[in-house]
């Protein structure tokens, strides 16, 4: 729509001007050449290659159960909207990352080494369970995951070149090293997010062990009596 308006604004005045010039000129060839040139430019712009389409996130309808879950977590309506928008975009990015990884054996090897996709999906699930902890995943949501998607996008693009120069191979190797480091950071993001749960489990295990120890001591005392 924007292109149609642009063509109308630019093209109509030019066409009228050229028409007037043709009416009062004995030699129409130069003006016909100009018109032809203008048409070629317009057609060239119209036929230019489209930009890469970036998948847009679509926020699903909020169920009553999910809404109650978020409200029980202490979130306001605006916080729920922000959370759901963020998670919807994150879901799209995880899917894009998975698609990219499936296109390259090198990326599959990196994913296997760091469990990048599993960590990303697991962190996503943890956030849905504990939405009030969204701020604890800032690095993952706004830096590491988006960068990982962008890096793998570029890697796939460069790696798909049919003819590769020495510089191309160097870029591929450099990119794979950076992607490997980013994959490691995503794995760390997940570990850090669930660290509190692990600490809570350690405390519970310690209490349980102490309780079992007391029970064993009491049982031994009763048997002696």
Angle at 188 between CA 204 and CA 179, to 5 degrees: 160
Angle at 136 between CA 130 and CA 139, to 5 degrees: 130
**Domain identity same for 31 and 114:** no
Looking at the structure of the chain, the number of domains it has is: 2
pLDDT tens for 167-186 read: 999 999 999 999 999 999 99
pLDDT tens for 47-94 read: 444 445 555 667 778 888 888 899 998 999 999 999 999 999 999 999
Q: How many CB atoms lie within 10 A of CB 159?
A: 20
pLDDT tens for 173-221 read: 999 999 999 999 999 999 999 987 555 554 455 555 565 666 666 665 5
Angle at 53 between CA 47 and CA 56, to 5 degrees: 145
**Domain identity same for 81 and 16:** no
**Domain identity same for 40 and 104:** no
**Domain identity same for 108 and 134:** yes
Cα dihedral 211, 214, 216, 218 sign: negative
**Domain identity same for 172 and 76:** yes
Q: The domain containing residue 144 runs over which residues?
A: 64-193
**Domain identity same for 102 and 167:** yes
């Amino acid at each position: 729509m924007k292109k149609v308006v642009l063509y109308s604004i630019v093209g109509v005045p030019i066409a009228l001007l050229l028409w007037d010039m043709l009416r009062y000129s004995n030699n129409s060839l130069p003006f016909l050449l100009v018109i032809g040139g203008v048409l070629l430019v317009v057609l060239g712009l119209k036929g230019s290659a489209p930009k890469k389409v970036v998948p847009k996130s679509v926020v699903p309808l909020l169920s009553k159960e999910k809404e109650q879950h978020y409200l029980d977590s202490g979130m306001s309506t605006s916080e729920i909207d922000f959370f759901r928008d963020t998670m919807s975009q994150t879901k799209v990015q995880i899917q894009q990352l998975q698609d990219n990884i499936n296109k390259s054996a090198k990326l599959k090897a990196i994913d296997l080494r760091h469990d990048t996709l599993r960590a990303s999906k697991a962190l996503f699930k943890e956030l849905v369970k504990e939405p009030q902890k969204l701020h604890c995943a800032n690095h993952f949501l706004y830096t590491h995951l988006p960068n990982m998607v962008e890096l793998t996008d570029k890697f796939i693009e460069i790696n798909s070149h049919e003819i590769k120069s020495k510089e191309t191979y160097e870029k591929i190797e450099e990119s794979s090293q950076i992607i490997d480091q980013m994959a490691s950071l995503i794995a760390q993001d997940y570990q850090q997010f669930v660290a509190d749960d692990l600490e809570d489990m350690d405390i519970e295990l310690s209490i349980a062990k102490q309780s079992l120890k007391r029970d064993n001591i009491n049982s031994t005392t009763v048997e002696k009596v």
